[in-house]
Structure 1
């Protein structure tokens, strides 16, 4: 135990067989800067987690849907604004660095309901670029554990997205070149790329993959489950399976990109098989109270005669995933086919999430599986309209958090909600220790 932590409140019995008696906790001095519990360094305790809507008994007002709590199994989120996974292309041999800790820390401390760490590969060959996040070996646990520890010190919740890039592996960071293969000279593995077929995503700008054999599939499943075990050691609150954006599991779903050996190709049931097997196996590993999330495609944005993925198949998959133990469906679209014709605009992916949510409701699965939507959701007012209309249970936001780590705070202001902030940030705006803002203090604090 670190020397700054509170002393134990347990009195140990010296006589074998004698019950252990709990001692009354030490009273907290009103002037003490109390440390957060179960942390290996000093940081002040957050009595109320940042991102929580504050209601004053003297002037109660309805809390918008965006700031209503969301329950996912045993996990309670203080609001419904989630940080979508965002690749940073900044890892060293899969290990997170100070970049990840500072990038994520600034967002986490400002109170999103759930932060999901970027696509983290379960094998070295499953990375998008040589600098992608990884969890294929034990040494990669500790850097992730540090970020988890910080999140928990703030009373915040954190998940990790586990992934395999499939035929989109061995490329380079997008700011270097969006259409280039990572050769062996720059740390790539162009001859080791595997996928659900030997069809490249965008030749010659991406690698020609090898179609996976049954042995490859078995190896991938074992690697995925080993990464799940490492994520549990790191202390994450939830796991997300990445089955969208044209990566390996998405490629298995679409008939246009799946030529796997039987029984993993052909019918929709067979094409869903690998994802459902992974889901069932992952659910069996996780504690009963831990949520399992899945990012899935709502459509490939291709013509009906293209044999690609579309919303009716997505609905069938969603129902199957719900019954297999998925607690949250993170509905995205696109990125499987280079020829796609995406019709974008504000909230352009919301209709796909809404259709899936409606299908879950018709089957009576809406309580056990919640639905999130993502893509060009840029204001609190827009997010509130989506949730209030029942089109989704939560919104996932990416780029807006890059520009403004305090997005939750900003959206609270848009919606007229007083949002709790970390003690170290909120005091400058008149936030009091017990919750709420003291009238007339904010202006003085800025002086």
Structure 2
């Protein structure tokens, strides 16, 4: 293996990851009133036992209106802290780190449970009124929202700040803002959705304002040693002059770096379903590579990363600093242990499992 590889440690501010393998956020739709329970402990805990270096939670709603469904986990009140403290304690005992991904779904909120099709729920059917940058719904997977007022925007920012403080109290090692996949921040910075005429719409600087203001304030209120990360959609995947492009992401990443963001996870899309012909192994890795090379910020790569050699090549070639994996971890909670065996890397097997490795 090369000098820097999948099993090389990585320091980000005051924390050190034992390897470059990251459990990507995956919605579980299994919380009760925003509280996590036994499912979340087993789901995330097993990935820690399996050797992941960093485990990022599913999107934690910063307020009830920002949930995707009634079953989303959250950090909108102090009652959500104890469950996460318990989970974080166990994960830390496995020598892994944790990050809380905090989010607001905007006009992609108020949906039914996945078993019921993730369909938009009207207020009459148990849902709620959604809000976004503008009162538009150009895509099938979005509700028709109300336009957020300036007062609404101020309240949402405060909800993000409060959620960040709760993440610190709950014992998380890092925070990630979810600013991609067509959720609220993305609904502001993409010109496709944002039709506002005030200081949060129009120009590039105005459209990124909500994300920048939120990130900057969170950076100031969390511990200096605590990493702040942001997941973005590097491109909209739309053939439209107004669509968000990789050049926009590079400018945004530079600005976020200047205000103290430590790492960008470069995902993509969120407003439309991507044609399957455009989905292939490592298909989104070039976005992380481009942002890293142009800005120097640490990046996480995503996009159909499923094999040990594939993940190692991403790190060893310098395309990204982290391999962020989702579905493969659902199939194999012990991917890092298996990858270490395949690649000759170093991974600590819990003593309870050593007889099998």
Specify the TM-score bucket, using the shorter chain as the normaliser. Answer: over 0.9
Q: Aligned ranges for residues 83-98 of structure 1 at < 5 Å?
A: 83-98=23-38
Residues 1:315 and 2:250 are matched in the alignment: yes
Paired position in structure 2 for 1:353: 288
- Does the Cα contact within 8 Å between 2:299 and 2:322 map onto a contact in 1? yes
- Does the Cα contact within 8 Å between 1:386 and 1:392 map onto a contact in 2? yes
Picking from 295, 310, 317, the partner of 1:389 is: 317
Picking from 359, 375, 383, the partner of 2:303 is: 375
Higher relative contact order (CA 8 A, sep 6+): 2
Question: What TM-score does the superposition give when structure 2 sets the normalisation length?
Answer: 0.96
CA shift, 1:336, in A, is 2.3
- The separation in 2 between residues aligned to 1:135 and 1:236, in whole angstroms, is 12
- The separation in 1 between residues aligned to 2:23 and 2:259, in whole angstroms, is 25
CA shift, 1:261, in A, is 4.6
Q: What is the root-mean-square deviation of aligned Cα atoms in Å?
A: 1.8
Q: Aligned ranges for residues 17-416 of structure 1 at < 5 Å?
A: 65-178=5-118, 180-184=119-123, 187-189=126-128, 192-200=129-137, 202-203=139-140, 206-305=142-241, 307-337=242-272, 343-360=278-295, 366=296, 369-416=297-344
Question: What TM-score does the superposition give when structure 1 sets the normalisation length?
Answer: 0.77
Residues 123/392 of structure 1: CA separation in 2 closer, same or farther (3 Å cut)? same
- The separation in 1 between residues aligned to 2:156 and 2:252, in whole angstroms, is 21
- Does the Cα contact within 8 Å between 1:214 and 1:261 map onto a contact in 2? no
Residue 227 of structure 1 aligns to a residue in which SS? helix
- The separation in 2 between residues aligned to 1:123 and 1:62, in whole angstroms, is 45
Q: Aligned ranges for residues 412-423 of structure 1 at < 5 Å?
A: 412-423=340-351
- The separation in 2 between residues aligned to 1:424 and 1:201, in whole angstroms, is 52
Residues 424/339 of structure 1: CA separation in 2 closer, same or farther (3 Å cut)? closer
Residues 85/400 of structure 1: CA separation in 2 closer, same or farther (3 Å cut)? same
- Does the Cα contact within 8 Å between 2:7 and 2:346 map onto a contact in 1? no
- The separation in 1 between residues aligned to 2:131 and 2:197, in whole angstroms, is 14
Pick which of 102-111 and 238-247 moved more: 102-111
Pick which of 221-230 and 147-156 moved more: 147-156
CA shift, 1:411, in A, is 1.1
Residues 1:425 and 2:349 are matched in the alignment: no
- The separation in 2 between residues aligned to 1:345 and 1:69, in whole angstroms, is 28
- The separation in 2 between residues aligned to 1:260 and 1:342, in whole angstroms, is 34
- The separation in 1 between residues aligned to 2:240 and 2:121, in whole angstroms, is 34
Q: Which has the higher helix share?
A: 2
Gaps of 5+ in 2: none
Residues 242/201 of structure 1: CA separation in 2 closer, same or farther (3 Å cut)? farther
Q: Aligned ranges for residues 432-447 of structure 1 at < 5 Å?
A: none
Rg larger for = 1
